[in-house]
A and B are shown apart, each in its own frame.
Chain A
Amino acid sequence: MSNAQQFDTRPVVDNESEIAVESPLAFSRHRSGAPKAKADTRVTVRERAFLGHLVLRGGAIVLDEALREVVGLGLPGEPLGLVQDEGGKRSIQWISPDEWLLIVPGGEEFDIERRLREALGDAHFSISNVGGGQTVLELSGEAAREVLMKSVSYDVHPSHFPVGKGVTTVFAKSTVVLRRPSEERWELVIRRSFADYLYRWILDAGAEYTIGVEG
């Protein structure tokens, strides 16, 4: 056994529990608003809040095996790779040679961590729950790529950034995990504390394309 402490950080929601949950963008929506999409909107941004985020570190072979068994999804076969299940609800992204980011529907992460720990047994690995510390922003629309070009120095041209790729890169003066789950959508995995800065940046960079905020 890994002999690590596992801790479910989500409250048990029973009988209409009154525990308010706030995404990292709660303050930003309050302060900066969320412009609605209009007819001439060419880029939209949508937050996919409260997902389960686990950072996995360890050897690729053992992790891959355990993930297939527990999540039904193996590690991406190459560096900078992103794999997802069929509905796109669960994804695994290469972060560094011994690090992957597993994103699952919110609430699944504790159980998945427990089963992964069981499956991994005595292997050397770590699993860290970081779901409260990051959130996912989705950019879509014909101008999404240009908004990214204003923000990241990484080459986001389709010939260089095909679907199924993901990188960790500088975004404005912060850092994001940038990934392309489909032809139409880009995802930014952003850190909670930088979320407001990044949200304001994206609204400002997207104003030219009448950016709209969904959800």
Chain B
Amino acid sequence: MTRHTQQPNRLARGGRVDRSRTLNFTFNGKRYQGHAGDTLASALLANGVDIVNRSFKYSRPRGIVAAGAEEPNALVQLGSTEAAQVPNVRATQQALFDGLTAQSTNGWPNVQRDVMSLVGKLGGRFMPPGFYYKTFMAPASLWMTYEKYIRKGAGLGRSPMERDPDSYDHLHQHCDLLVIGAGPAGLAAALTAAHGGARVILCDEQEEMGGSLLDSRELLDHQPASQWAGRVVEELAGLDNVTLLPRTTANGYHDHHFVTLHERRTEHLGETAPRVDGYRPARSRMHRVRAGQVLLTTGALERPLVYAGNDVPGNLVAGAVSTYIRRYGVVPGNQLVLSTSNDHAYRAALDWIDAGREVVAIVDARRNPDGELVEQARARGIRVITGSAVLEAQGSSRVSGARVATIDAKAFKVTGQAEILACDTIASSGGYSPVIHLASHTGARPAWDDEILGFVPSLVAGVYAAGSARGIHDLAEGLADGSAAAARALAALGRSAGAIELPQVAARREGAASALYQVPHEKPTLRAPKQFVDLQNDVTAAGIELATREGFESIEHVKRYTAMGFGTDQGKLGNINGMAIAARCLGKSIPEVGTTVFRPNYTPVTFGAIAGRHCRELFEPERYTAMHQWHVEHGAEFEEVGQWKRPWYFPQKRRAENGEQRMETMDEAVARECLAVREAVGILDASTLGKIDIQGPDAREFLGRVYTNKWAKLAPGRVRYGLMCKDDGMVMDDGTTSCLAENHFLMTTSTGGAAAVLEWLEIWHQTEWPELDVYFTSVTDHWATMTVTGPEARKLLAEITDIDLDRESFKFMDWREGQVAGVPARVFRISFTGELAYEINVQANYAMHVWKTLFAHGEKYDLTPYGTETMHVLRAEKGFIIAGQDTDGSVTPEDLGMHWAIGYDKPNSWIGKRALTRSDTKRSDRKQMVGLKPKDPKVVLEEGAQIVLDPSHAIPMPMVGHVTSSYYSPTLESGFALAVVKGGHQKMGDTVYLPMVDGQVHEAEIVSPIFLDPKGERQNV
């Protein structure tokens, strides 16, 4: 057969690649060519690239072993630019595109001559099995040090340091039946369900649907199997009730048939999504599927045999050899030795000889193999050596020979003299393991099946497995099994499946497989050359044996001790072999040893796909008030309060001493805003406060039960402050509630507490007091609220309202309705600043008009917008609490000194009353709210600072409380704070101390928390 000059291992014909389309790519800085339809792995093999990586621990040269998701070695770093870097891409699953640039993940400066290899030869001594286990057990602080060096040396790929140019997406999907895997069973199942009219999703992780049919030697309806697959896929694509998702991995099976499917939409086209009409489509998409029923047709993974030197490049699993030849037209070598324990693997030798290359021998562990494929091989003149296995691969950077001898697998002994067969490729097959990963995500423990020599999935209700995924490897049986499983799944939903005609498959006689995992060596395992079990993590048979000798008997412990299956491949190739070795060492059977289970994700998923469009500007909702644009235009700095963006302060330009303009600092802005409110008039956007409309004849009674204070006599037109406790007697939220009419109240809550308070009211109404006739409706967003406050507030408001603002007719804690700036408004005379204040509420669509009108009239009063920081200072000067800042769920109204807001003598009980009468809540040494006045007025105490009575006490000092709020007051010209102190109410005038991290100790006097205008004269003017 002629050879492609550029690609020495490319066949002239055959496979599913398009030889008319040549694609250029770069691997480790060298340019190569491949074809459309190649994976990076098949293109590398076509070009005769043997070494694709260096191993994790020993830095040994490694080649491509498999052809799919199970590949442990061929991990590459993808990307020609910094922004496009993607770590740990499996070359076997990366479609080739023109311009692809990849580098080996491990091995610096290059994989051929690795400076780490010397270290690698010694590496085993530094990192014996159990290294991670023992290191984790060591002081955790040391791990940080180790890890840095291990990662650097091992090189597990790296993240891009620049912003990802791509976008990602989520799509919520629903279906009757989700079929995972589009091999023979999956295609038959999807067709069956689709014909029944069910909503079907069929996903498959490969570039092309068809699974094993794409490289099978068998015929369906007397034609190549891939033709039948193509026809079925085409038919399914034309059906409205079917969603086909190629290049889509079912990476996680979560509760209640919620399955996440990771679809790679553009990764086969380029390293970033190519622009289409100026738009860059999502690079990958996470389908979040809620399925009625789920069918796993995930196939099986071939197990390699474990023998000495089985990691030298040129060692492949047998099925991968067939895949590369039949699907990609690539023969990964010249002279093949096949070591097998079953019939099925014989096809690798037949494909190899069909490709025109030499099969040196088939080494079969069975004494008398006699299946049809065995007969075919013999008929083709291939030498079949029975009762034997490859003991050892020879060579270092590429296989140069295979040592073969007769063995006694049960006795784990080599029984004959070894013969050396010269070859450059060794394919091995120890049987087939159903892909049980997704089933095991559901928590169902897989079960060992002696018949198929593999674990089969256990299935929770609503999950089905068919075909190879449950050990039915025969093609005809697998097709029928898929169709039948789909019918069962639909029946469970009360639907009937459609009839489909399954293709004709020639019956084939297969001999029984024998159980072989680790091949014995002349030397004992601990002394034999390395026999690798987990290639990605460099776990050897000797390592597992050592683990069992050190007393690790549970397979979960063996796994953690050796790090078997810890790699990005989750031990897809090696785990079962590892369990079999552990079982041998422990003198147990495999089912006795059991298996480890798998966690999501089946293969790694990019963070982009997990985040979807929930990133950057759309990471979190931002809630805006109706005046937001004004705040932005007036240079507000914003504070996040829950999801709200509230103006924090409004810095202004001021002239510095040198005459230049500069922006105010936050402290300067806040001081200016505070003084404006105390001396003239300020305005705050208070729209974010929660507002709940409460209607019903029992509204008043309900309020009496959820608030600690009394509501029986609050007349229409009046407003009252209320405190709300949880049933443990601790303050939950506070706010004012207004009586709008006899059966109608408007409750306000804190900004952050709005949703929780509404939920709280509904819970108590629905579960405890359904007999009360009352309804609650959130009107937070309907009303915009602006607080006009300061000595000039009345004059300003009077200019634009028809409401009589006379101090006698519109008193403190009254509300009135009328017009403000021509807009109907409810105006509440309540105050959170301690100054004369009016809270104007208007329908939010008109709020901007009212706000701007206030400013149009406000100039002569020096109307100053202020933000949340100033609001905090002003309220703290008055000793007004903020629930959640001055309280933390352990503070009672009594602790706050708010006895006046507790109605112990109300006729009905109320939430928290019982708890407030407990001895613990009555203790006199509870932490109680007080004011703190630093002895040095320049000091602003740190919020959270701990308070002690004796700073000379040996550490640990007894701590008696902490600062909850602390600011500088331009009015008091001093720092001041609110704090909770044990027994604080009885400690007025005492001195306390606040030791700081830097060794300073601040001194402060305990004072009343009301720093300004204790009689409330300013708000009553």
Contact = CB atoms under 8 A, between A and B. Distances in A.
Interface string A123-137: 011111111111000
Interface string A162-199: 00000000001110000000000000000111111110
Interface in B828-852: 842-849
Contacts of A19: 821-823, 846, 849
Nearest to B241: A159
B780 A157 contact: no
B773 interface: yes
A172 B844 contact: no
Nearest to B741: A5
Contacts, number: 180
Contacts of A146: 171
Interface stretch (A8-16, A64-72, A74-82, A83-91): A8-16
Contacts of B288: 153
Given A132-B783, A197-B623, A201-B618, A5 B172 contact: no
A204 to B, nearest CB: 6
B341 to A, nearest CB: 47
Interface string B609-634: 00001100110111111101100100
Contact of A150 (B170, B843, B844): B170
Contacts of A119: none
B985 to A, nearest CB: 40
A204 B629 CA distance: 21
Contact of A193 (B624, B629, B693): B624
A13 to B, nearest CB: 10
Interface string B660-700: 00000000000000000000000000001000010111000
Contacts of A204: 613, 618
Interface residues of B, number: 64
B618 A133 contact: no
Interface string B740-777: 11111000000000000000000000000000010101
Contacts of A57: 695, 775, 777
Interface in A1-46: 2-5, 7-11, 17, 19-24, 26-27, 30, 40
A9 to B, nearest CB: 4
A192 B169 contact: no
A66 to B, nearest CB: 15
B596 interface: no
Contact of B822 (A17, A155, A193): A17
A155 B777 contact: no
B849 A205 contact: no
A4 B848 contact: no
B614 A50 contact: no
B591 interface: no
A200 interface: yes
Contacts of A130: 777-779, 781-782
B781 A150 contact: no
Contacts of B775: 57-58, 98, 125-126
A197 to B, nearest CB: 4
A22 to B, nearest CB: 5
A5 B171 contact: no
B174 interface: yes
Contacts of B621: 172-174, 194, 197-198
Given A5-B744, A19-B822, A208-B282, A155 B290 contact: yes
Main secondary structure of the interface of B (DSSP, over half): mixed
A200 B716 CA distance: 42
A31 to B, nearest CB: 8
B203 to A, nearest CB: 16
A17 B853 CA distance: 14
A196 B848 CA distance: 16
A192 B623 CA distance: 8
B813 to A, nearest CB: 17
B173 interface: yes
A191 B742 CA distance: 29
B199 interface: yes
B626 A3 contact: no
Nearest to B694: A126
Interface string B164-206: 0000011111100000000000000000000000010000000
Contacts of B169: 150, 205
A135 B294 CA distance: 40
A124 B845 contact: no
B114 interface: no
A189 B783 CA distance: 17
A157 B176 CA distance: 12
Nearest to A171: B621
A208 to B, nearest CB: 6
Contact of B696 (A11, A124, A129): A124
Nearest to B691: A133
Contacts of A26: 629, 848
Given A20-B849, A21-B846, A172 B618 contact: yes
Given A9-B846, A124-B697, 18 more contacts: A2-B743, A7-B824, A9-B843, A11-B822, A23-B845, A24-B844, A26-B848, A50-B845, A132-B783, A132-B845, A146-B171, A150-B169, A153-B172, A153-B288, A160-B174, A173-B621, A193-B625, A197-B618
| Cβ-closest 6 pairs across A and B | A133-B781, A133-B782, A126-B695, A9-B843, A132-B843, A4-B744
Interface of A: 2-5, 7-11, 17, 19-24, 26-27, 30, 40, 50, 55, 57-58, 98, 124-134, 146, 149-155, 157, 159-160, 172-174, 191-198, 200-201, 204-205, 207-208, 210
13 contacts: A10-B824, A11-B823, A20-B849, A22-B845, A124-B773, A126-B693, A126-B777, A130-B781, A152-B172, A172-B613, A192-B782, A194-B621, A201-B613
Interface of B: 169-174, 199, 277, 279, 281-282, 288, 290, 613-614, 617-618, 620-626, 628-629, 632, 644, 688, 693, 695-697, 716, 740-744, 773, 775, 777-784, 817, 819, 821-824, 826, 842-849
